[in-house]
């Protein structure tokens, strides 16, 4: 704990307030914000030469604010703030996250031409084993995977296997392929991560994930894309606003 700031016992600022301020700074550190446990209360109290009651007072204030969480036999860690994605309107994932002030990056981007299975063929309304362009992406705000996408494009669109997908997806389809996504048909459910998916998202096999399957259509309701997405449930929630008829 040599890198943890010491308290000023001669200051007029109460010790519990000093502790709270230091803990707030620790919360912003990447190691703690990514889920690392805080040092044990006994160790912190000894390091700062304060009583555990003084320390607990500061920690309890941050727990009440939702910044920290405490679990028996586990310890204290930073509360992971979930991202709520809205079902009332839809846009590309990049634009949706940018509207929240979040900047996402690709941890993995793979483009391949592959024959589709029965599920994809039915949702794109093409024959099974038809080869289509498949885009696979793992995305996050840092180095820890948060969401995994698989996008399959209808052969009619003409998406190239050499496409770099540097632009937001639906902006790219509009500007380069003259295809404007208008309708989205979605299915969302909770499911358990398979071994393969768990390895991709760096979670344990069997942990809950949000599965979203989306069929994207143009203004004439012609199919454009079939998208399968898995969100880590410790990062994302879905929200929807429904207006009651008078």
Give me the pLDDT at residue 201, please. 92
Residue 246 lies in a domain: no
Residues 93 and 178 in one domain: yes
Closest CA to 151 of 188, 105, 110, 118: 110
User: Span 215-237, mean pLDDT?
Assistant: 88
User: Which CATH number belongs to the domain containing residue 146 in this structure?
Assistant: 3.40.1410.10
The answer to whether residues 64 and 99 belong to one domain is no
d(CA 69, CA 63): 6
Count Cβ atoms within 10 A of the Cβ of residue 48 and give its class: 0-12 exposed, 13-18 middle, 19 or more buried: buried
Answer whether residue 91 shows pLDDT above 80. Answer: no
| pLDDT for residue 92 is more than 60 | no
Same domain, 124 and 228: yes
- Whether the pLDDT of residue 98 is over 80: the answer is no
pTM beyond 0.75 = no
The verdict on 125 and 229 lying in the same domain is yes
Domain that holds residue 45: 15-78
Domain check: are 63 and 98 in the same one? Answer: no
The pLDDT tens digits of the residues spanning 126-176 come to 999 999 999 999 988 788 888 999 999 999 999 999 999 988 888 899 999
If asked whether residues 221 and 208 sit together in one domain, one would say yes
Tell me the pLDDT tens digit for each residue of 63-84. Answer: 887 778 887 777 887 776 555 5
Q: Which residue has the higher pLDDT, 244 or 125?
A: 125
| Closest by CA position to 157, among listed 133, 135, 126, 129 | 133
Counted domains in the chain: 2
Residue 190 and residue 126 share a domain: yes
Residues 111 and 231 in one domain: yes
Same-domain check for residues 176 and 68: no
- Whether residue 73 lies inside any domain: the answer is yes
β-sheet bridge partners, residue 204: none
**CATH number of the domain where residue 29 is located:** 1.10.10.10
Lowest mean pLDDT among 8-17, 77-86, 227-236: 77-86
The verdict on 124 and 212 lying in the same domain is: yes
Q: What local confidence, expressed as pLDDT, does residue 211 receive?
A: 93
CB atoms within 10 A of CB 149: 21
Average pLDDT (190-194) is 93
């Amino acid at each position: 704990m040599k890198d943890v700031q010491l308290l000023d016992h001669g200051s007029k600022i109460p010790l519990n307030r000093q502790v709270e301020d230091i803990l707030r700074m620790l919360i912003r550190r990447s190691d703690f914000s990514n889920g690392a446990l805080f040092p044990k209360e006994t160790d912190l109290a000894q390091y700062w030469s304060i009583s555990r009651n003084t320390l607990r007072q500061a920690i309890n204030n941050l727990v009440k604010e939702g910044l920290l969480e405490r679990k028996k036999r586990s310890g204290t860690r930073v509360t992971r703030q979930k991202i709520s994605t809205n079902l009332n309107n839809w846009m590309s994932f990049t634009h949706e996250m940018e509207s929240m002030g979040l900047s996402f990056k690709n941890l993995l981007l793979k483009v391949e031409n592959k024959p589709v299975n029965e599920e994809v063929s039915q949702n794109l309304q093409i024959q099974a084993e038809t080869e289509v362009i498949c885009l696979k992406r793992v995305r996050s705000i840092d180095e820890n995977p948060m969401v995994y996408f698989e996008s399959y494009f209808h052969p009619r669109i003409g998406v190239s296997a050499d496409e770099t997908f540097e632009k937001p997806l639906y902006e790219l389809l509009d500007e380069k392929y003259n295809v404007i996504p208008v309708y989205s048909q979605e299915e969302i459910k909770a499911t358990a991560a398979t071994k393969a998916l768990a390895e991709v998202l760096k979670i344990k096999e069997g942990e809950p994930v949000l599965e979203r399957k989306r069929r994207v259509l143009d203004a004439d309701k012609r199919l454009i894309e079939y998208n399968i997405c898995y969100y880590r449930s410790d990062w994302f929630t879905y929200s929807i606003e429904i207006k009651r008829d008078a």
